[in-house]
Amino acid sequence: MDPLWSNFFRNKLEEESLAYFLGTVPIFSDLGKRDRITLESLVHIRTYRQGETVFDEGDPGSGMYIIRNGRVQVFSRDSKGSEMEIARLGPGDFFGETTLTAPANRTASVRALEPTELLGLFRADVLELTKKQPAIACKILMGVTRVISERLQVAGKNLMQLRREHPQIFPDEIVA
């Protein structure tokens, strides 16, 4: 076939599609192909320049972001305004998932380290999905809950270990 026409009639490769990429993200690993196509229509694709802020600590949070391309830096500011890096995230990583189900302010700031493409999944869209296709919404929310639970368990273990190492810092009621 003529290369010009082959461009027109070429089907998008499975690996290039957004639905395939979403399937590689741990939160959505339980979703089937049809569910991932529904999810594809739900996420918002946003592009960020190098150094651009995604959100700041204290901003109203209404959902999570998944990194499709590029890298971001998660950081926090102390009372004097100096920054402390918490994590650097790359393609396939996600952040802000705790605000997907409950409205809360962002607890850290995020900025793009290079030109970055993020997929935003927001509470309002998930709520809409619960009305229209509750089965898929349930799978998505189960995935989010699973990841949050795993992270909470790890955080709890770390906290216990820290308490054992530095008992003077932690009053009893915090760990209880």
Partner 1 sequence: MNGLDLINRKRMSRNQAILFFLTLTAGIATGLIVYSSATTIVSLLRAATTALFVPLLISLVLTFLLEPPVTFFERKTGNRSLSIFIVYILAGCLLYLFLSWIIPHWKETWHSLQSDLPRYIGQMTGYLRDLVDRLHVQFPFIEAYDIPSRSRALAENFLGGIIIGTPKSALGIGGVLLIVPLFTFFFLRDGSRIVRTCISLAPNRTFEMVHDMTYLIILQLSHFVRGRIIEATIIGVVVYAGLSITDIRYPFFLAVFAGITNLVPYIGPLVGMIPGILIALIDLGLGGQFWWIVILYFLIAQVIIDNFILIPILISRFSNLHPLWVIIAIVIGGKLFGVIGMIIGVPIVSIIKITLIEIRHYRRTFSLIETTIEAENL
Q: Which is nearer to partner 1, 46 or 88 (CB)?
A: 46
Q: Which residues bind partner 1 (CB under 8 A)?
A: 44, 46, 48, 52-55, 58-63, 103-105, 120, 122-124, 127-128, 131-134
Q: Which is nearer to partner 1, 25 or 126 (CB)?
A: 126
Q: Which is nearer to partner 1, 136 or 144 (CB)?
A: 136
CB of 134 to partner 1, least distance (A): 7
Closest CA to 35 of 111, 128, 115, 137: 137
What values do phi and psi take at 111, rounded to 5?
A: -135, 150
* Per-residue CA distances from 43 to 125, 136, 150 (Å): 8, 14, 24
Q: Which is nearer to partner 1, 57 or 150 (CB)?
A: 57
CB of 161 to partner 1, least distance (A): 26
d(CA 151, CA 129): 25
CB of 101 to partner 1, least distance (A): 14
With contact defined as beta carbons under 8 Å apart, do 109 and 56 qualify? Answer: yes
**Residue 56 CB neighbour total at 10 angstroms:** 13
d(CA 148, CA 139): 14
Range 75-108 burial, b when 16+ CB lie within 10 A, else e: beeeeeeeeeeeeebeeebbbbbbbbbeeeebeb
Q: Which is nearer to partner 1, 13 or 124 (CB)?
A: 124
CB of 80 to partner 1, least distance (A): 14
CB of 107 to partner 1, least distance (A): 10
